[in-house]
Amino acid sequence: DRRAASARRAAAHAARDEWVFEGSGRAVEYVAGRRWEVAATGFWQAHHAAAQRYSDLIAEWSELGPGGRAWDLYSGAGVFAARLAEQAGRTGVVLAVESARPAVADGAAALRDLPWVELRAQRVERWVFEHVGGAAPDVVVLDPPRAGAGKEVIGAVTASGPARIVHVGCDPAAFARDLGLYQAAGYRLTDLRAFDAFPATHHVECLALLRR
């Protein structure tokens, strides 16, 4: 099972040929008045309204004020990082981590006016272990892949002691397993929302707010 999981991860991050038959191969999206230009083959929310709706809720739940410190893990092109950065202001710090380098490059271009956001192209599993024991974030936002964040990442996040965690999940079973790990680490679920973001399928998107 471990070999199979390793092979899947390697395949997901391997270089792939892309053929553009028409247009630029780029997509333009807007969230909270900010423009993103991303690769058409890259990640974006499946539902047209999802990125705006999720980022609005994360901004509401984060309670981040000027000078605040936030982590955005599995950050993609930095949509959530942008909202957190607007709340934290120039005296704040937002650290965003994403393993897909093209997404990080797209995010850096979209957020070039927010120098207090640091977007890092690195595996989240490695990054969180490097930052345990450092300055504690006020809030951590995670939007992991369908398999969830898992025991190692959640253990490192909770060990960092954030006051609030916002967890996003598109697979309810993996989402529930991750929530159980937070609760075992002393966090309690204080709000939960579910969105029909994948119409005509059995999939739902869930967002949870956890506090210690």
Report pTM.
0.88
Residue 2 predicted with pLDDT over 70: no
- Helices first, then strands: H and E counts in the chain: 7, 9
Q: What is the pLDDT of residue 15?
A: 64
Q: What is the pLDDT of residue 23?
A: 78
Q: Which residues contact 179 (CB under 8 A, 6 or more apart)?
A: 167, 189, 208, 210
Q: What is the pLDDT of residue 26?
A: 87
Averaged confidence pLDDT in the chain: 91
Among 9-23, 69-83, 116-130, 139-153, the range scoring the smallest mean pLDDT is 9-23
Rounded Cα distance between 142 and 162, Å, is 12
Do residues 51 and 79 lie in contact, with contact meaning Cβ atoms separated by under 8 Å? yes
Our answer to whether residue 206 is catalytic in this structure is no
Q: Which of 3-12, 30-39, 74-83, 196-205 has the highest mean pLDDT?
A: 74-83
**Which one of the listed residues 38, 85, 170, 210 is annotated catalytic?**
170
Higher-confidence residue of 160 and 8: namely 160
> How far does the chain reach from its first CA to its final CA, in angstroms?
34
Pairing of strands 188-195, 205-211: antiparallel
Q: Which residues contact 115 (CB under 8 A, 6 or more apart)?
A: none
Residue 112 predicted with pLDDT over 80: yes
Q: Which amino acid is at 52?
A: Q
